[in-house]
Amino acid sequence: MRNAIASLVLILTAASPAPEARVRLFVIVSPSQTVTDLSLADLRRIYAGDMTRWPDGHRIVPVMPPARSRETALFLEHVLRTTMIDYAQNWISVVFRGRAPAPPRVLATADAIRFVTTHADAIALIPDPLDPPPGVRVISVDHRAADAPGYPLTW
Amino acid sequence: MPLRADGATSQSLPIFHVGGFGDIEAHTHSSSRREDLNAAELDVFATLQLSNSWSALADAVALKSWNTRADEKSVEIELERLYVEYSTSDAFRLELGETETGIVRWSAREHRSRFLQTPVDVPAIARRPAEDGAWPLRFIGARGSGRMSGPLGLTWAAGAGVGPGPVREAVPVFGGGRSPAALLLLSSSPESIPGFDTGAAVYAQEVHSRPDRIRERDVTLWVNYVSHGDEMRIEWARMNHSLTSNPAMFVTTGYYALLSKRLSGRAEHARPYVLLDRLRVARGESYLGEAADENAWAAGLRYDVTQRFNVKTELRSQRSVAGHRESVLGLELGTSF
């Protein structure tokens, strides 16, 4: 009987889909950027086109993760609280109102890192890197470092 | 709209950008006494980033409308905005030139293009004077605006210049028809309620018409909530006109309420909506000319085929000028480029 139950548990465990891995987004900027922390509200404003300037007055260049990635879907849902269609059309409106130029969008995380290394005013979101990428600086969100408990960009 | 990062490695100034919107609308009335109205609109705008602080924007609209049963066609070309902007922070930006008053939230500033707005038709209080609208949506002068830091997410705008003259479609800068105007706007988007936005705007103007000058005082209140695909927009507006030589007061009021929801899953391209649209034009108000009362509701569906192309269909029930209720079926194809 015990063997039968153990076998059943083993079968059920094997048949159930593996839980999706947690996603943690790192916020990266150029090392020359003086900002070391952003509130979640400001991050939302930056990616909604409502906040367009760094404290030094330079224009913020926000870079989104690849469009069809899970990171983008989670960021849109939990931070911007919008859908991909509405996000894209909001930026059409932002550009049309003269508030900011259209933001760059990348095809791969490596492109986002490369963009930030070459643009002092860029900001990008990248999934949990195995090693801190060279040439960029990771900043905290709501005064929580990316590896701290309660980091808000973890789902 | 977003660019490919690998194609945007150069940030050398100046940066020039041209974009626009196009749409075709068709309307058919239930009343045989009304002509079916069709229209095609092309809105082209250009931005020029001259430096980190200075930029310029130009925006023009070409509108062609025609009736199906009569041989009446018209083409209008209108300069909507033309200004230079100075800005060094989000706390302060200054626009100089022809720009939006902002007295109606659902105005050209937010929803100039019908591609961006959810329903087919523009609510009555947000129509341009050229579309028989009542409120002054554009003016020429200086307009400052900015966002204050803090959890309330306060934004402000203030401006002074000249507004629409004796002919409401035009904003005279020189000559006797020049009409001084001023505006003030305050809104709040609290951090604790993402997607929520409420505010008020006031606008004052003296229209140098003949034989009497008109003193105009407008106030608008609005509440918006846009989050997780849900959209709620409610706005109420009041316009007071008084003559300098006459104690009579003309009061025009209107409001709209829009509710829509983006569906989820496979239906995420669809956004059904309902719109309530009211306008009561002051009786005996000759300055507002062709502006007419509106008492309508509409239900429709916006379908975003792609991020840059959509189809909208709408059934609108409205009270006609003669007083009876009529239905209008509308169809719109819109694109952004």
β-pair type (B246-261, A104-105): unpaired
CA dist., res. A27 & res. A82, Å (int): 19
Subunit contact A95:B17, Cβ cutoff 8 A: yes
pLDDT value for B7: 38
CA dist., res. B280 & res. A55, Å (int): 46
Give contacts of B137 with chain A, Cβ < 8 Å: none
| Contacting B residues, span 68-87, partner chain A, CB-CB under 8 Å | 85, 87
Q: Is the CB of A66 inside 8 Å of chain B's CB atoms?
A: no
CA dist., res. B153 & res. B157, Å (int): 14
Q: Which two tokens stand for residue A49?
A: 């086109």
CA within 13 Å, CB half, B18: 2
pLDDT value for A18: 58
Q: CB–CB of A138/A116 below 8 Å? A: no
Tell me if residue A133 falls in helix, strand or coil: coil
Give contacts of B88 with chain A, Cβ < 8 Å: 53, 57
| Strand partners of residue B300 | B273, B314
Nearest CA in chain A to B230: A82
Query: Residues of chain A with pLDDT > 70: what percent?
Result: 86
Subunit contact A41:B229, Cβ cutoff 8 A: no
Our CA-based measurement puts residue A40 at a distance from the nearest CA of chain B, in whole angstroms, of 9
pLDDT value for B272: 98
pLDDT digits (tens, 9 = 90+) for B4-25: 443 344 457 888 999 999 999 9
CA dist., res. B273 & res. B127, Å (int): 19
pLDDT digits (tens, 9 = 90+) for B215-258: 999 999 999 999 999 999 999 999 999 988 878 899 999 999 99
Q: CB–CB of A42/A48 below 8 Å? A: no
Q: Which helix (H) or strand (E) holds A93?
A: helix A84-96
From residue A39, give the alpha-carbon distance in Å to each of A139, A153, B67: 11, 11, 54
Q: Which two tokens stand for residue A132?
A: 């801190």
Q: Which two tokens stand for residue A15?
A: 């048949």
Give contacts of B89 with chain A, Cβ < 8 Å: 53, 57
Subunit contact B11:A119, Cβ cutoff 8 A: yes
pLDDT tops 60 at residue A68: yes
| Strand partners of residue B245 | none
ipTM of model over 0.85: yes
Subunit contact A101:B194, Cβ cutoff 8 A: no
Q: Is the CB of A50 inside 8 Å of chain B's CB atoms?
A: yes
| Contacting B residues, span 112-171, partner chain A, CB-CB under 8 Å | 112-113, 115-116, 147, 151, 153
pLDDT value for B10: 44
Give contacts of A101 with chain B, Cβ < 8 Å: 15, 17, 47, 49
**Nearest neighbour of A44 by CB, restricted to B45, B194, B269:** B194
β-pair type (A61-63, A122-127): parallel
Tell me if residue A117 falls in helix, strand or coil: helix
β-pair type (A137-141, A37-38): parallel
What's the pTM? 0.88
Tell me if residue B76 falls in helix, strand or coil: strand
Q: How far is CA A29 from the centre of its chain?
A: 12
Where chain B has pLDDT below 50, the residues are 1-10
Q: Give the residue-averaged pLDDT of A85-93.
A: 93
CA dist., res. A32 & res. B137, Å (int): 43
From residue A143, give the alpha-carbon distance in Å to each of A56, A131, A146, A150, B218: 20, 21, 10, 10, 44
pLDDT value for A41: 95
Q: CB–CB of B229/B250 below 8 Å? A: no
CA dist., res. B227 & res. B76, Å (int): 36
**Nearest neighbour of A98 by CB, restricted to B15, B52, B57:** B57
| Contacting B residues, span 85-104, partner chain A, CB-CB under 8 Å | 85, 87-90
Q: Is the CB of A105 inside 8 Å of chain B's CB atoms?
A: yes
